[in-house]
Amino acid sequence: MKQTALLKRSLFVGIALWAGVLLVHKPVSADPSKYPQFAQQKLPDNITPAFVSVDQLATEITAGEKPLIIDVRSAEEYREVHISGAVSAPLSEFSAHLENIPRDRPVVLY
């Protein structure tokens, strides 16, 4: 039970990071038609994401936290550019990666 809660917390910290990046940086024109299978998804009612800013994440990393950083964009986008140390787990394949996500450390999705 604790591991599931930690995984959910970690996943939503990642979602929060992504949201923070969008809010802090120049807005990008996202094209939901590129990813129609994900465009209308909603979180379950019993899950509330924890949003963090890029600055908060940087502070945590500087303080010694070692989150797993997962790039959920397409493999092509990952090859173009990604955060150093990030692993690729495209949303279209993400469910296959769930069992490999550690439950003992924070996870950041972007």
User: Which CATH number goes with the domain that contains 73?
Assistant: 3.40.250
In a domain, 40, yes or no: no
Cβ atoms of 89 and 97 closer than 8 Å: yes
- Spatial CB neighbours of 99, under 8 Å, sequence gap ≥ 6: none
Q: Is residue 43 part of a domain?
A: no
**Whole-Å CA distances, 13 to 16, 37, 69, 73, 76:** 5, 22, 11, 17, 24
pLDDT value of position 85? 85
Q: Which residue in the block uniquely carries the two structure tokens 């990046």? A: 21
Residue 62 counted as domain residue: yes
Q: Provide the domain count of the chain.
A: 1
Which of 79 and 8 is assigned the larger pLDDT? Answer: 79
Confidence of residue 1 (pLDDT cuts 50, 70, 90): low
The runs of H, that is alpha helices, within 1-110 are: 2-24, 36-39, 54-62, 75-80, 94-97
pLDDT band at 16 (very low <50, low <70, confident <90, very high): low
Task: Give the tens place of pLDDT for each residue, 31-90.
Answer: 667 767 776 677 778 767 777 788 888 898 889 988 899 999 989 999 999 988 899 999
In a domain, 32, yes or no: no
* N- to C-terminal Cα separation, the chain: 25
Q: What's at 24, amino acid-wise?
A: V
| 31 domain residue, yes or no | no
Query: Within a domain: residue 42?
Result: no
Residue 98 domain flag: yes
Token pair for residue 23?
């809010």
Residue 28: pLDDT over 90: no
